[in-house]
Copies of this chain bind each other. A is one copy, B any other.
């Protein structure tokens, strides 16, 4: 095991992977005292007031002169609140152009988007049509789909909301964006929308708002019009049977890596998330961006406190200001729901070596790599920019990923330290373990072990390339671990914003 991890060549601290005694040789310096596991060591002298850099980013300032080899933590680091002093586009580090153009085998759709899977979706407007949708989907067993080898399955997207809510405003609009996002997703060859009829979240309003017309591969129906559950299920089965030959005619063709849009996600994080799996995923994102592809970071509460570092990476002022607008919205949202946006390191975080809110938030944001922030989106809004982008969402995994998929992500990459059994449809989830112990214990669920950065001296860059190459294989049709286990049918959770009435 390497005894320290360097996250960027420009950093003036490295992180100990195990407890180090005073006098340990660390890169070119010698430790001046005991360094606990997960804590930082100065690799150069840092003058009082000078920046401490980790992830190539500012995480605080030296509160006193720091010698090379010193333990760097709360006792000698100051964090100045930089609220309202945003800088824009001052830290733009575009990805170096890729030496070669990579490709994967995808489903190119008529509108130019590319699917990594080929499903037929049943999208519900309200919980009142949940059983109808499940019963329609359940009809399409592997036996009944055997004649359609290019169809990956019939999925029901069922949820707990859609009525007992305001018929306008942010909650309503977010739900309609999710529905439309799943309806238009490139991993769906065909879509059937099923509602009840009297719900607040009217399918007809959606069709009108987005100018949608029914056709052979897009159909809608309401239980109250079709006259009951049984007839709805029968009619739904017939509609999907008619779609199957058309969906089966779709085939994989070579597509450039630039057609990949990857949801960057973490859940069940641990002290190593910000050191191993998140930076490795960030490097994979950089490699993808170098190809012209797209990474979508989310989980606004988890980047709280580091937003002014992201504005410096914003390609322009408008993009940076959109991000700040999200932060202000969250402060209000949590306040009026009697919560708070406290993302400061907890006592446990500090014991693990996290010194400031910047460092903690950067550990989460590390999933997004180092390239410029090219776009900021509302929850479930279509992501149209290429490059590294941000989407507003809660940190809660299923709600966040639902928004990312609605935005058009055709792959999900999910880092976890405690261990998660998450999976998603229609975009498959790749899971990356932050530590080798959990990877070994949950090997049926984990696709990648980023713990080898600690245990086997693998570099963040090597691990990032491994993840990036897995993107291409999974996108081409290889099943991820969660996919092989049949996950993804019960993790569709539209973010519910307003009051339930």
Q: Is A487 in contact with chain B by the CB < 8 A criterion?
A: yes
Q: Which residues of B contact A497 (CB under 8 A)?
A: 500
Q: Smallest Cβ distance from A350 to chain B, in angstroms?
A: 19
Given A131-B486, A399-B160, A418-B198, A339 contacting B229 (CB threshold 8 A): no
Q: Is A197 in contact with chain B by the CB < 8 A criterion?
A: yes
Interface residues of A in 375-404 (CB under 8 A from B): 394-399
Interface residues of A in 142-169 (CB under 8 A from B): 158-160, 163-166, 169
Q: Is A61 in contact with chain B by the CB < 8 A criterion?
A: no
Cβ-closest chain B residue relative to A492: B160
Q: Which residues of B contact A334 (CB under 8 A)?
A: 499, 501
Interface residues of A in 284-312 (CB under 8 A from B): 301
Cβ-closest chain B residue relative to A497: B500
Contact B229 A164 (CB under 8 A): no
Number of interface residues of A (CB under 8 A): 69
Cβ-defined partner of A421 (8 Å) among B129, B337, B421, B498: B129
Cβ-defined partner of A499 (8 Å) among B127, B197, B337: B337
Interface residues of A in 172-231 (CB under 8 A from B): 196-198, 223-224, 227-231
Q: Is A27 in contact with chain B by the CB < 8 A criterion?
A: no
Q: Is A485 in contact with chain B by the CB < 8 A criterion?
A: yes
Given A160-B159, A228-B444, A396-B163, A496 contacting B490 (CB threshold 8 A): no
Q: Is A454 in contact with chain B by the CB < 8 A criterion?
A: no
Cβ-closest chain B residue relative to A163: B396
Q: Smallest Cβ distance from A6 to chain B, in angstroms?
A: 29
Q: Which residues of B contact A419 (CB under 8 A)?
A: 197, 223-224, 227-228
Given A127-B491, A501-B339, A229 contacting B444 (CB threshold 8 A): yes
Copies, count: 2
Q: Roughly how many angstroms separate A309 CA and B426 CA in the complex, as a whole number?
A: 51
Q: Roughly how many angstroms separate A163 CA and B418 CA in the complex, as a whole number?
A: 14
Cβ-defined partner of A394 (8 Å) among B164, B227, B268: B164
Contact A490 B127 (CB under 8 A): yes
Q: Roughly how many angstroms separate A500 CA and B442 CA in the complex, as a whole number?
A: 28
Contact B158 A268 (CB under 8 A): no
Interface centre among A443, A487, A499 (most CB of B within 10 A): A499
Interface centre among A224, A231, A441, A500 (most CB of B within 10 A): A500
Cβ-defined partner of A160 (8 Å) among B223, B232, B441, B493: B493
Given A164-B394, A169-B338, A399 contacting B500 (CB threshold 8 A): yes
Contact B396 A229 (CB under 8 A): no
Q: Which residues of B contact A441 (CB under 8 A)?
A: 227-228
Q: Which residues of B contact A196 (CB under 8 A)?
A: 268, 420-421
Q: Roughly how many angstroms separate A395 CA and B74 CA in the complex, as a whole number?
A: 51
Q: Which residues of B contact A243 (CB under 8 A)?
A: none
Q: Is A495 in contact with chain B by the CB < 8 A criterion?
A: yes
Q: Is A240 in contact with chain B by the CB < 8 A criterion?
A: no
Q: Is A114 in contact with chain B by the CB < 8 A criterion?
A: no
Contact B421 A229 (CB under 8 A): yes
Contact A496 B498 (CB under 8 A): no
Q: Roughly how many angstroms separate A224 CA and B445 CA in the complex, as a whole number?
A: 11
Given A228-B421, A396-B500, A127 contacting B487 (CB threshold 8 A): no
Cβ-closest chain B residue relative to A396: B164
Q: Roughly how many angstroms separate A131 CA and B441 CA in the complex, as a whole number?
A: 19
Contact A442 B228 (CB under 8 A): yes
Q: Roughly how many angstroms separate A238 CA and B339 CA in the complex, as a whole number?
A: 41
* Sample of 7 further A-B pairs with CB below 8 A, known A159-B160, A160-B398, A198-B268: A164-B394, A197-B268, A227-B442, A228-B421, A336-B337, A338-B498, A339-B498
30 contacts between A and B (CB under 8 A): A127-B397, A128-B397, A128-B398, A130-B491, A131-B423, A131-B485, A131-B486, A131-B488, A131-B490, A132-B421, A135-B486, A160-B160, A160-B398, A160-B493, A163-B396, A164-B395, A166-B338, A197-B419, A223-B419, A223-B421, A224-B268, A227-B419, A227-B441, A228-B442, A230-B444, A232-B421, A336-B336, A339-B498, A339-B499, A495-B500
